[in-house]
């Protein structure tokens, strides 16, 4: 076959014959179909997203215009659409993000450093890694049950709480801790991957000049892996802010919520969060105009998430710029 082809090519005596052979039209049909179907998949995904966003916006904007955005943001939970506001939900969601950033981030990164840099490749450690991977896929409602049993009941204690029962029951602390545990496997996995991607040459350079293992990790491995670790944090934020099921289990408020003074009271007191408000308003009658409230709350949720992610990405880009400069 190959011999026949090469003989045929040798027999193309003139440049004209060669030209007609190598400029044959028709092209790569299969390739074109492949490319178009890839594009179609992309457009389908985008179209769904655009449709979702436009529905939300078309419901939310007239309501927000009528109420005034500021009033909606500052208002509190209410049984009437014209007085309803999401300030308590924003506070709850932001606090949950704070818990994730303060607890899940350092603990997860530290665990990843141990797994990647210190743990030997033993059967036990392989099982450990597999378990963490599986944990990241466990449905959030299961984490909600953990939060209910451990944080709300065991560490909450109700009215006659002992000194070590610090969560206050169905509180922001319980919700924050539950969410931090929920995203911990995601942080560990993404941080592990970022650490694994640090080039071997960089580690060797550090060891080669007589740095200890912890010095190599602190001054070379972690700075290099930081952008990747922050990408994982963005994912963790997104997961934590969007989950409603664990909050439901821990006991987020669905009706009215009284205001509280002071940090401790806020943290130990009853709470709600933006996804809870979405869930709760979506159940109320359409006729009273609740769909518009739901849409407006979704919009606020997206904006809060966008701000959290944008700050993580901004930080990441700054680190990256510093690295390449």
Chain residues binding other proteins by CB under 8 A are: 120-121, 199, 201-212, 215, 219-220, 224, 323-325
Nearer to other proteins, 23 or 121 (CB): 121
Smallest separation (angstroms) from other proteins to the CB of 126: 13
Shortest reach from residue 225's CB to other proteins, in Å: 12
Q: What are phi and psi of 274, to 5 degrees?
A: -55, -45
Instruction: Mention every residue, 6+ apart, whose C-beta is less than 8 A from residue 231.
Output: 190, 194, 316
For other proteins, the closer CB: 212 or 311 = 212
163 to 160, 174, 271: CA distances (angstroms): 10, 16, 22
The distance of closest approach from Cβ of residue 134 to other proteins in the complex, given in angstroms and rounded to an integer, is 25
∠ CA 188-192-194, rounded to 5°: 120
What is the torsional sign of CA 290, 292, 295, 297? negative
Q: Which is nearer to other proteins, 126 or 323 (CB)?
A: 323
For 58, the token pair is 């078309």
For other proteins, the closer CB: 76 or 218 = 218
Residue whose C-alpha is closest to residue 89's, from 172, 1, 186: 172
Minimum CB–partner distance for residue 113 and other proteins (Å): 16
Considering the complex, state which of residue 10 and residue 120 has its C-beta at the smaller distance from other proteins.
120
- The residue whose two tokens read 């998430």 is 305
Q: Which is nearer to other proteins, 202 or 302 (CB)?
A: 202
- What contacts 24+ positions apart, CB below 8 Å, involve 275-284? 275/93, 275/241, 275/242, 275/243, 275/244, 275/247, 275/301, 276/89, 276/92, 276/244, 276/247, 276/248, 276/252, 277/77, 277/86, 277/89, 278/244, 279/244, 279/248, 279/254, 280/254, 281/84
Please say which residue, 210 or 262, places its beta carbon nearer to other proteins: 210
Q: Are 197 and 225 in contact (CB under 8 A)?
A: yes
Shortest distance, CB of residue 223 to other proteins, whole angstroms?
8
Q: How far is the CB of 105 from other proteins (least distance, A)?
A: 23
Q: Are the C-beta atoms of residues 104 and 273 closer than 8 Å to each other? A: no
**CA gap 243, 2 in Å, rounded:** 61
Give the shortest CB-230-to-other proteins separation in angstroms.
Answer: 17
Q: CA-to-CA distance for 57 and 296, rounded, in angstroms?
A: 8
E strand residue ranges, the chain: none
Q: Residue 91 or 225: which CB sits closer to other proteins?
A: 225
Q: At its nearest, how many Å lie between other proteins and the CB of residue 190?
A: 21
Contact (Cβ atoms closer than 8 angstroms) between residue 296 and residue 60:
yes
Q: What is the closest distance, in whole angstroms, from the C-beta atom of residue 205 to other proteins in the complex?
A: 5
Q: Kindly tell me which of 6 and 213 has the beta carbon lying closer to other proteins.
A: 213
């Amino acid at each position: 076959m190959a011999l026949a082809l090469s003989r045929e090519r040798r027999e193309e005596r003139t440049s004209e014959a060669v030209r007609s052979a190598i400029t044959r039209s028709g092209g790569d049909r299969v390739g074109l179909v492949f490319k178009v179907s890839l594009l179609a998949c992309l457009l389908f995904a985008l179209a769904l997203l655009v449709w979702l966003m436009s529905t939300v916006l078309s419901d939310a904007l007239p309501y927000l215009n009528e109420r005034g955005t500021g009033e909606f943001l500052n208002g509190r939970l209410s049984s009437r659409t014209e007085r309803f506001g999401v300030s308590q939900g924003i506070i709850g969601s932001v606090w949950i993000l704070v818990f994730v950033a303060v607890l899940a981030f350092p603990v997860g990164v530290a665990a990843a450093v141990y797994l990647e840099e210190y743990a030997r490749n033993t059967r036990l450690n392989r099982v450990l890694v597999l378990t963490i991977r599986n944990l990241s896929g466990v449905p959030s409602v299961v984490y909600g049950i953990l939060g209910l049993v451990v944080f709300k009941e065991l560490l909450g204690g109700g009215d006659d709480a002992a000194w070590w029962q610090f969560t206050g029951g169905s509180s922001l602390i319980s919700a924050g801790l539950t969410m931090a545990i929920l995203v911990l496997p995601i942080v560990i996995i993404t941080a592990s991957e970022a650490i694994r991607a640090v080039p071997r040459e960089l580690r060797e350079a550090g060891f080669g000049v007589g740095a200890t293992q912890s010095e190599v990790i602190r001054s070379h491995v972690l700075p290099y892996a930081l952008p990747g670790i922050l990408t994982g944090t963005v994912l963790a934020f997104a997961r934590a802010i969007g989950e409603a099921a664990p909050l439901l289990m821990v006991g987020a408020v669905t009706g009215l919520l009284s205001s509280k003074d002071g940090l401790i009271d806020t943290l130990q007191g009853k709470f709600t969060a933006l996804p809870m408000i979405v869930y709760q308003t979506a159940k109320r009658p359409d006729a009273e105009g609740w769909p518009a409230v739901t849409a407006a709350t979704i919009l606020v949720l997206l904006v809060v998430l966008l701000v959290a992610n944008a700050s993580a990405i901004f930080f990441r880009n700054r680190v990256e710029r510093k690295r390449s400069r």
